[in-house]
Amino acid sequence: MIRRPPRSTQGVSSAASDVYKRQVRESDIEVRVNLSQGNILKQISDQIQDRLPGDDSIPIRFVINASSRDRCKCEVAFLDGFNVFNRPAVESIFGFRKRISENTDKFTAVLVVPTGVGAEIGGHAGDATPVATLMSSICDRLITHPNVLNGSDLIELPENTLYVEGSALSRLLMGTIGLQSVRSNRVLVVIDEHQDQFFVDAAVNAVNAARSSWSLICPMVLKLDPPLHMESRYSASGRVTGDIDGIGGLTQYLEQLRNQYDAVAISSVISVPLSYHIDYFESEGQMLNPWGGVEAMLTHTISALFDTPSAHAPMLENQEISNMETGIVDPRMAAESISLTFMQSVLRGLQRSPKIIVDPDAHTFNGTLTAEDVSCLVIPDNCLGLPTLAALEQNIPVIAVKENKTVMKNDLDQLPWNPGQLHYAENYWEAAGIMACLKGGIDPTSLRRPLKQVLVDTSSNLDNIDRENLRSVPHAADN
């Protein structure tokens, strides 16, 4: 797929006052790592911790955009000035607890489509929902994140599907948190104090519509003044990222209201050049969605600081943009073209987003899902971040879907998988079949032809067996 750049790549001049401090930003860090050996997480985390921009900086988002056998090009989002928040220390995103065993009473799948990487499926607004619906029909439980399901004002949330913010999903796989289902959350809604009352009214109407039509519990709509300043940009690798100023005010109010909510929905303006709004809808899906990356940086920060489900909906800058005629757009973008507030999917998803359980002693409680409950992970091929690395270390089967192309450039075969742990699928149809095999205890390769001979060797030759060859069992999608 050809990625067409936007016509304008100039940033927007910041109108933020001196009270704003750039508190969430992203940096490129290249680390030396031996991907063929184990303990990759520790190799990476040690080097990133040594290269933090300040003593009070903490990493809140991490991705490997390209890798070779001995190097990883990482993009790491940091929260700067953590000490000013006057909060207890938060566990590193690289914190890891090895699972002891796998619970097999139910088959729980995790579906990930990373935000801001230009995924062919799931790179726009809710266009990976059919995938989630398919996967949920096969497994007993599906855990996925807002980027998969949020379709602006549209959302389809299967009954057995958990809507989990991306960083919380990573921490689940890393073994450091549990998830507990809820009947309903109190969703605090935070919106920008927009200069145009039209957008404030639209946001409040969206909340009231949710309250009256599907019983959203909303204790308050909090207008943030001064507002957040979120600015989107494209990284050197082609991913969508950004910078966030003024997050200190938001966290201060969230701390004051801590006992009055269970989840946080945020609607704020994301600054992009005006031409992006035109370029995006005219690109026929070739331009990466310019809003999602910085949204993920914000929600990762909120979840890290408060261990609370969160999601973000962009607020339009002005009525000139809201009144733009998009015409008939690529079907994957249609949900965005018909929405004004983009809030309904966020509110609906957060209504029953599971509670984040941090206390390790509570991980054994009945009904708490942990890494022990995860049966498989489904990702786009070439995607390498915390979910994939956690699955590698936890010996969780991974299904990589080749058809869902992104801008990421990683060869997953370079990682030291256990035999039969990594499966390639040409598309999500095949991925569903592989998942059904895993659920039924069937080796997916036994359904393909030719069927390779079993490895036969003598006990005296065990020390000479090629371990790489031993790991190289046929992938389900291999001919």
The token pair at 355 is 């509670």
The token pair at 277 is 């709004």
C-beta separation of 397 from 377 below 8 A: yes
CB proximity list for 154: less than 8 A, separation 6 or greater: 125, 126, 335, 344, 345
- Residue that the structure tokens 């989002």 belong to: 77
Question: Quick one: CA dihedral 32, 35, 39, 41, positive or negative?
Answer: positive
pLDDT per 10-residue tile (average), the chain, 479 residues: 39 39 84 82 90 83 93 93 64 93 96 96 95 98 97 94 97 97 98 96 98 97 94 94 92 94 98 92 92 96 94 96 93 94 98 96 93 98 97 97 97 94 97 98 94 86 64 53
Q: Quote the CA–CA distance of 409 and 67 in Å, as a whole number.
A: 7
C-beta separation of 104 from 124 below 8 A: no
pLDDT for 467 equals: 56
pLDDT for 469 equals: 57
pLDDT for 108 equals: 98
Predicted TM-score of the model (pTM): 0.92
pLDDT for 12 equals: 38
The token pair at 246 is 């003024």
